[in-house]
Amino acid sequence: MISFTDLVGVTGVSILLIAFLLNLFNKLTSNGLTYIIMNCIGAAIACYASILLKYYPFIVLEAVWTLVSLFSLIKLLKNK
């Protein structure tokens, strides 16, 4: 049976991978709003799962990914 932590982790990573694949197949641009939001949400959820697991290398990775995505989102919204 899948645990809550696994469900959270799979959700976050799935959002990140879907964004990556959509970009790879030219369905989303890497500087587009949808792509940036998907990265921000996916990384934040994956970070939460890493916190639940107390796995610090991935907490750092996903926290930085979330922050970079947030800065990209803020920059994009300021330029519109």
Q: What is the pLDDT of residues 3-55, one digit of tens each?
A: 999 999 999 999 999 999 999 999 999 999 999 999 999 999 999 999 999 99
Are the beta carbons of 62 and 47 closer than 8 angstroms? yes
Burial string for 1-40 (b: 16+ CB within 10 Å, else e) reads: eeeeeeebbebbbebbeebbebbeeeebeeeeeebbbbbb
Collapsing DSSP states into helix, strand and coil, what is residue 10? Answer: helix
Count of CA atoms in the C-beta half-sphere (13 A) of 56: 0
Q: What is the mean pLDDT of residues 62-78?
A: 97
Per-residue confidence (pLDDT) for residue 64, from 0 to 100? 98
Per the structure, the count of domains in the chain is 1
Per-residue confidence (pLDDT) for residue 60, from 0 to 100? 98
- The boundaries of the domain holding residue 73 are 4-79
Give the model's confidence band at 80: pLDDT under 50 very low, under 70 low, under 90 confident, else very high: confident
Return the CA Rg of the chain: 13
Distance CA 42, CA 61 (A): 12
